[in-house]
Amino acid sequence: MKHERSQSTENAKQQPSPKRVKDSNGKSVHQGKDDMLKHPTTQRAKEIDADTPMQQLEELLEKTRKDQKTTRNVLHWFRSKDIREDDNRGLHAAAEKAKEGSGSLITMYLFSPKDMEWHGTSAPRSDFILESLRKLKSSLQEKNIPLAIVTAEERGQKTDRVMQFVKDHDVSHVYANIEYEVDELRRDIKVAKHVQDQEGLSFDALHDQTVVKPGTVVTGSGGPMKVFTPYHKAWLAETKDDPSLLDLVPAPKGNDKDALKQFKDLFDSEIPSLPESKQFEGKEDQERIRKLWPAGHDAGIKRVHEFLDRKIGTYAQDRSMPALDPSSRLSPYFSSGIISVREALAITKKWNNNEHFDQGDAGVAAWVREIVFREFYRQVTVITPHTTMNLPQNLKFDNVEWEDDEEGWEKWCKGTTGVPFVDAGMRQLNSEAYMHNRLRMNTSSYLSGNLLLDYRRGERYFAEHLIDWDMSNNTQGWEPSYTIFNPVAQAEKCDPDGDFIRKWVPELKDVKGKAVFSPHERLSKAEFEKLDYPAPHVDYRESAQRAKERYKHDLANADP
């Protein structure tokens, strides 16, 4: 697959083949030619956290959510995180509002090819989004609801394009679902500022991505929770006390047939094809990925049922065993909002004989715990927005002096580090646009903790290759820390028969027994040389020790 790379404005993610430059803190950092590592100072990060874009948007929405006398056409603005009709809070609110007036419900998707490049969205994810939009458009069309594609060629044109569309189509109410990342919140703030002084125009953005609203799970002293275990407990209690949190909203009923004529231009607007920079290497590659990850809501729901029928029962014990492919593979559907987490949980609850998620089947409890991680990471994004701006949550880690090891970087990307478990994970990613969670943990730990390469480069590489890229899950999965996995012990524990390694690293398919976990150490020189598999790029024990010492030294000197 061919891939583009990049990320956010005040923030930004990184490019391969970077050079060393001074950052805004005067520190030597890697930087790609497109400024992918750009980020605010740690001081600025704290200011952003103190007055978050989410708070700013919520204040503005108080003014833009207007009680208007007349309802004309009502718009739902789809984003890349709510591409569905079912259980879509914003779309449902728009449909209800449209019923109050004599206008129609219309919908729009703002297509920004430069955003796809800036965010480094992978070709598989870009294609998955466009295919899912295509399916959504034809399903809405059957209900006489248009889905228009509005294109902003330049990132700076987004607000103007939306406001022009609103004007051209006599819209009185705009609805959307909130995206929690800084750039997206700032885009909505801009829109809200345009709307607040306009007569006859209202704008509302709803919480839709999670069961529990991010930022609202608080500690005894009233501040938002920042630690997972108590958050998980509180989440379970809250959803038990208030089951309505899991209520679903219906898909819209649709417009009269007249809408077909009135909005012909919108019905005619076509879903764009993949931008030049997001092409697959070939048709076969694209078809293979589409087969692995079929687009659209129905495919997502089918996957929920298959997971419940076949895998959830053993999920609690098998979830860290990648060779068993034990998990739901629903992440792309959740990250693009093809299905709502509430809908998946409602089906799961029914399967669990309507018991709450911590009761009944142990697999359900374990699986829902992962969903709660997703909710928790959104809470973290909302309360510490600097985490979406190329800065670690623990700002002290921004002071780490990372290595320049381009050979190590190349080997990590290709899956030729000489560490079988790490290489297997990277090869799965490069092939399937997906990696099992245990491998994500190990490959990320290896990049920063053994190769001592800037974790942001890896974070960016994941964004550029994953079909399920999700800013909150990815940045927080990549959060640097003192925990460095031993990739051989991890393989022995999580891939005890070596099946996952043998599948993805065919050079090792005939290696017998435990030698598969560390062939260079465990085979004779002659046996190893026959394999055509590289020797380890670094010694994992020594390199982990070196990284810990570096962290200790650089963090002691950090004053963020």
Residue 19 host element (H or E): strand 19-22
Angle, to 10 degrees, between the axis of helix 297-310 and the axis of helix 123-141?
110
Which runs of E-coded beta strand occur in 72-165? 73-78, 105-111, 147-151
Measured in whole angstroms, the distance separating CA 256 from the mean position of its chain's CA atoms is 37
> By CB under 6 A, is residue 327 in contact with ligand FAD?
yes
Residue 29 host element (H or E): strand 28-31
Q: Are 212 and 239 in contact (CB under 8 A)?
A: yes
> By CB under 6 A, is residue 318 in contact with ligand FAD?
no
> By CB under 6 A, is residue 374 in contact with ligand FAD?
yes
Q: How far is CA 330 from CA 286, 296, 318, 351, in A?
A: 19, 12, 17, 17
Q: Which stretch binds ligand FAD (CB under 6 A): 167-175, 262-270, 369-377, 382-390?
A: 369-377
Among 361, 464, 470, 495, binds ligand FAD (CB under 6 A): 470
Q: How far apart are CA 434 and CA 40, in angstroms?
A: 30
Tokens, residue 105: 């419900």
Q: Are 384 and 479 in contact (CB under 8 A)?
A: no
Among 118, 128, 235, 334, binds ligand FAD (CB under 6 A): 334
User: Between residues 302 and 530, which has the closer beta carbon with respect to ligand FAD?
Assistant: 302
Instruction: Name the DSSP class of 510.
Output: T
Instruction: Tell me the closest approach of the beta carbon of residue 143 to ligand FAD, in angstroms.
Output: 29
Residue 7 CB: number of other CB atoms within 10 A? 31
Pattern 277-316, ligand FAD, x by CB under 6 A: ----------------------------------------
User: Between residues 21 and 246, which has the closer beta carbon with respect to ligand FAD?
Assistant: 246
Among 171, 212, 251, 371, binds ligand FAD (CB under 6 A): 371
Q: How far apart are CA 102 and CA 464, in angstroms?
A: 45
Which runs of E-coded beta strand occur in 178-241? 202-206
Q: How far is CA 117 from CA 5, 112, 128, in A?
A: 6, 9, 15
CA atoms within 13 A on the CB side of 395: 18
Q: Which stretch binds ligand FAD (CB under 6 A): 32-40, 159-167, 288-296, 329-337?
A: 329-337
Tokens, residue 230: 């108590």
Q: For the chain, give the longest Cα–Cα distance.
A: 84
Residue 491 CB: number of other CB atoms within 10 A? 27
Q: Which stretch binds ligand FAD (CB under 6 A): 79-87, 133-141, 237-245, 325-333?
A: 325-333
Among 277, 320, 437, 481, binds ligand FAD (CB under 6 A): 437
Q: How far apart are CA 111 and CA 148, in angstroms?
A: 10
Among 175, 412, 469, 551, binds ligand FAD (CB under 6 A): 469
Contacts with ligand FAD by CB under 6 A: the residue count is 26
User: Between residues 263 and 377, which has the closer beta carbon with respect to ligand FAD?
Assistant: 377
Site for ligand FAD in 474-513 (CB under 6 A): 474, 477-478
Which runs of E-coded beta strand occur in 87-206? 105-111, 147-151, 171-177, 202-206
User: Between residues 4 and 204, which has the closer beta carbon with respect to ligand FAD?
Assistant: 4
Instruction: Tell me the closest approach of the beta carbon of residue 120 to ligand FAD, in angstroms.
Output: 11
Q: How far apart are CA 320 and CA 306, in angstroms?
A: 19
Q: Which stretch binds ligand FAD (CB under 6 A): 33-41, 68-76, 195-203, 467-475?
A: 467-475
Instruction: Tell me the closest approach of the beta carbon of residue 429 to ligand FAD, in angstroms.
Output: 10
Instruction: Tell me the closest approach of the beta carbon of residue 444 to ligand FAD, in angstroms.
Output: 4
Q: Which residue is nearest to ligand FAD (CB)?
A: 477
> By CB under 6 A, is residue 473 in contact with ligand FAD?
yes
Alpha helices in 384-465 (DSSP H): 406-414, 420-432, 437-449, 455-465
Q: How far apart are CA 461 and CA 303, in angstroms?
A: 27
> By CB under 6 A, is residue 444 in contact with ligand FAD?
yes
Instruction: Tell me the closest approach of the beta carbon of residue 380 to ligand FAD, in angstroms.
Output: 10
Give residue 112's identity as a one-letter amino acid code.
S
Instruction: Tell me the closest approach of the beta carbon of residue 104 to ligand FAD, in angstroms.
Output: 34
Among 377, 421, 540, 551, binds ligand FAD (CB under 6 A): 377
User: Between residues 228 and 528, which has the closer beta carbon with respect to ligand FAD?
Assistant: 228
User: Between residues 166 and 312, which has the closer beta carbon with respect to ligand FAD?
Assistant: 312
Measured in whole angstroms, the distance separating CA 68 from the mean position of its chain's CA atoms is 36
> By CB under 6 A, is residue 440 in contact with ligand FAD?
yes
Among 81, 119, 329, 386, binds ligand FAD (CB under 6 A): 329
Residue 135 CB: number of other CB atoms within 10 A? 19
User: Between residues 95 and 426, which has the closer beta carbon with respect to ligand FAD?
Assistant: 426
Among 338, 395, 441, 516, binds ligand FAD (CB under 6 A): 441
Among 112, 122, 328, 448, binds ligand FAD (CB under 6 A): 328
Q: How far is CA 236 from CA 77, 246, 323, 369, 372, in A?
A: 31, 12, 30, 9, 9
Instruction: Tell me the closest approach of the beta carbon of residue 523 to ligand FAD, in angstroms.
Output: 30
Q: How far apart are CA 245 and CA 260, in angstroms?
A: 36
Q: Which stretch binds ligand FAD (CB under 6 A): 137-145, 164-172, 249-257, 436-444?
A: 436-444
Among 335, 390, 416, 490, binds ligand FAD (CB under 6 A): 335
* Residues in touch with ligand FAD (CB under 6 A): 327-331, 334-335, 370-371, 373-374, 377, 436-437, 440-441, 444, 462, 466, 468-470, 473-474, 477-478
